[in-house]
Amino acid sequence: MPSLKPYFLFLISLLLCPAIQAEPSYTIKLGTKVAWPPYHIDLKSGATGVAVEAVDCVMARIKQPYEINKLPWSRAQALTKSGALDGFFSASQSDKRDGYAELSRVFIPQIRKFYFLKKYFPAKVELYSIDYIKESFTVGARFSSNAMNYLKINNYNIGAEHLSETVLMRMLDAGRMDAVLENSLVFALMVKNLDRSMDEYLSIEVGKKNMGVYFSKIFLDKHPSFLALFNENIPPCSLIK
């Protein structure tokens, strides 16, 4: 089993926790994508972001010690499958992931959209159905993401994939693909950080794919009551209103 070097450990505030008879004696090892603003934001001292804070809220309520390992997204999933990690987030449901892990109740919102550059595709939104996009355009998404998995399973014409959302934006600008499939919050923040405007883009919603934490079946076999306890304490911490 590969050794893991955690980048940081959250110190859980007992003041926020409901009364629980005993604090768990084990520390849960979770993996995240190194940076995926606004969900995961990489810091020298650790990490923050809306998803990190939501997970921390649940873990605090159940007095569960845990650590987060910031890793390439594909590696976080592979290490969960092998049992070297106990889980990973923020993750949406997929049949592949269901084979080796179990998804918590979803509590982190995600809306996926195709984004076209209006200067190349000035037509009205109503003309771009999902079927028309599949038949007529090349598309791309982040490498090893569930968005890319969706494109492959549904036989889209894939023009590009990359680990970096910023590189995908450059590929879109360069015409390497016609549209990129991305989380709406992530895309809007990328556009803002590049000092550009959302008015430059035509967006077509694909659907909601809300997220949670995938816990390894190896971990859950050792701690069969954990997931139910985790799920019971999600509602006060949920970002889905």
pLDDT value, residue 22: 54
Q: List, for residues 103-126, the tens digit of each pLDDT value.
A: 999 999 999 999 999 999 988 888
Beta bridge partners of 173: none
Residue 5 has pLDDT above 50, yes or no: no
- DSSP for the chain reads ------SEEPPP-GGGPPP-S---SS-EEEEEES-BTTTBEEETTEEE-HHHHHHHHHHHHTT--EEEEEE-HHHHHHHHHHTSSSEEEEEE--HHHHTTEEE----B--EEEEEEETTT--S-GGG--HHHHHHH-EEEEETT-HHHHHHHHTT-EEEEEES-HHHHHHHHHHTS-SEEEEEHHHHHHHHHHTT--GGGEEEEEEEE--EEEEEEHHHHHHSTTHHHHHHHT-GGG-S--
pLDDT value, residue 164: 81
pLDDT value, residue 23: 64
Selected residue with higher pLDDT from 127 and 201: 201
Q: List, for residues 163-203, the tens digit of each pLDDT value.
A: 788 888 899 999 889 999 999 999 999 999 999 999 999 99
pTM summary value: 0.81
